[in-house]
């Protein structure tokens, strides 16, 4: 593999960038972030990046400093004459605001995509966007990776005899259907209605879960209200067991407590976002090998889609 590339990381994704660099057998680039007394910060590269392909690893989960760090990293790389700049955003924050769901609201996902483009990116690498069509918000190539690459082998390793895949809402039916087809097992849906954001009013199961070992699939778990309500409802309808798998571990507010006292046997995430909670039901599977392999394929101009399981 040629060495004409460098990998750098923002503050809160460094744990993941270090794993990616281990996969690539390269050092993590030397980048400094200097803070002013009022909270403003400055990004500087402490080594030459002139003419190099630069990969910037930074998830844009709350707070917004993570997004601002990434924007400044891009701007500094452009001004330091990097040949190409790829924003590696394992978790693309603000993605839930991808349309006008009611009058006079922002579409933050498009705004963030525009900000990254103006800052100077040449490419984006991300995982499990909230909606696939958000790739179209960018005017540069987007490598949209899938957590299924690590999650499907994990599900298979459980050896569940009466496996059933479930989606906690109708919006996730496409993802659930893909998993169910790959695993050759049945699928059910949970139909929910909301009072407001992060608060579910009612939920019904579409399908039969009696005697099944159910795995709920989602892209993100925030306050865990939906996933816990779905799990408890599935057990009430006669399921043998229920687990949950999601790509992005937001886990805010009462999420730890809710999952801890829920019917879930375990809640499995990738490590696109670090987990700092205390719930013993939560576990994380690293997607660093997937990111590292994709970076290698980009550098070597090899096929990326051939590594997908779905």
Which residues participate in catalysis according to the annotation?
192
Pair 301, 35: CB distance under 8 Å: no
- In the three-class reduction of DSSP (H, G, I as helix; E, B as strand; rest coil), residue 234 is classed as helix
In contact, 97 and 108? CB cutoff 8 Å: yes
Q: Are 206 and 188 spatial neighbours (Cβ–Cβ below 8 Å)?
A: yes
Whole-number Å distance between alpha carbons of 243 and 281: 10
Of the candidates 150, 282, 300, 186, the one whose C-alpha atom is nearest the C-alpha of residue 228 is 282
CA gap 131, 143 in Å, rounded = 14
In the numeric block, which tokens belong to residue 171?
Answer: 């919006």
Task: Write 129-134 long-range contacts (CB < 8 A, 24+).
Answer: 129/92, 129/95, 129/219, 130/92, 130/95, 130/96, 130/98, 130/219, 130/220, 131/95, 131/98, 133/98, 134/92, 134/95, 134/98, 134/109
Candidates 162, 163, 188, 168; CA nearest to 177 is 188
Whole-angstrom Cα distance, residue 220 to residue 227? 10
Structure tokens at 195: 């009072």
């Amino acid at each position: 593999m040629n060495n004409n590339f460098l990998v750098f990381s923002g503050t809160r994704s460094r744990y993941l960038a270090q794993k990616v660099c281990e996969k690539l057998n390269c050092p993590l680039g030397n980048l400094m972030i200097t803070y002013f007394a009022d909270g403003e910060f400055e990004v500087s590269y402490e080594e030459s990046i002139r003419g190099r392909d630069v990969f910037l690893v930074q998830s844009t989960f709350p707070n917004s400093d993570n997004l601002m760090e990434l924007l400044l990293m891009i701007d500094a790389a452009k001004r330091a004459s990097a040949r190409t700049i790829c924003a590696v955003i394992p978790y693309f924050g603000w993605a839930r605001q991808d349309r006008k769901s009611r009058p006079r609201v922002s579409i933050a996902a498009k705004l963030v995509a525009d900000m990254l483009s103006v800052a100077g990116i040449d490419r984006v690498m991300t995982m499990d966007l909230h909606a696939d069509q958000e790739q179209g918000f960018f005017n540069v190539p987007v490598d949209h990776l899938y957590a299924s690459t690590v999650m499907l082998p994990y599900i298979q390793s459980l050896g569940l005899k009466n496996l059933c895949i479930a989606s906690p809402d109708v919006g996730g039916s496409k993802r659930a259907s893909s998993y169910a087809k790959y695993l050759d097992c049945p699928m059910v849906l949970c139909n929910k209605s909301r009072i407001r954001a992060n608060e579910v009013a009612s939920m019904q199961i579409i399908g039969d879960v009696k005697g099944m070992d159910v795995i709920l699939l989602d892209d993100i778990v925030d306050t865990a209200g939906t996933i816990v309500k779905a799990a408890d409802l599935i057990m009430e309808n006669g399921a043998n067991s229920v687990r949950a798998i999601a790509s992005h571990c937001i886990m805010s507010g009462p999420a730890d407590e809710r999952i801890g006292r829920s019917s879930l046997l375990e809640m499995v995430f990738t490590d696109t976002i670090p987990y700092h909670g205390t719930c013993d039901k939560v576990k994380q599977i690293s997607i660093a090998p997937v990111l590292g392999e994709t970076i290698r394929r980009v550098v070597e101009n090899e096929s990326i889609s051939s590594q997908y399981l779905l």
